[in-house]
Amino acid sequence: MQTNESLEHAMAALAQDPYVGANPELHEFWQAAARHELLVKTCTQCSRAHWYPRMFCPFCASEDTEWRKASGLGKIYAFSEVVRAEPPYILAYVRLDEGPVLLTNMVDCDPAALHIDQAVKVRFRPAQEGRSFPVFTPN
């Protein structure tokens, strides 16, 4: 649970983050992530959600897209433990219940216990620059 103070701190960090400033079309996504909400771009014409966020729908080419709150639930599509990194981490593709597949990290789990099609849920972690980013953990 986030306090009002931690949310205010997260929003202030967004204003200073060079990545957020360089990609203004993603500002709404990062604001939601600071609130620990996951948004996905969705086409209002064909109703399909897509990732990576674009200004137009990759399925029907409509420019009528909007950010919609995602459930934060999905299933592991593929994963790999990166053991040569320090510290090691788990890179994964997660298919959201809304349809899109995100490249992400798995956290707070035993790599040996992970499997394809395993149910997962979103969590948020702070980046060094201050913004929060989505990661996933077994559900």
State how beta strands 89-96 and 65-69 pair.
Answer: unpaired
pLDDT at 4 over 80: no
> Residue 102: what are its φ and ψ, rounded to 5°?
-110, 140
Q: For residue 6, what pLDDT is reported?
A: 67
How far is the CA of 49 from the CAs of 41, 65, 68, 135, in angstroms?
6, 9, 9, 19
Domains and CATH numbers, the chain: 4-138 (2.40.50.840)
Cα(94)–Cα(83) distance, rounded to whole angstroms? 20
pTM: 0.87
Confidence of residue 131 (pLDDT cuts 50, 70, 90): confident
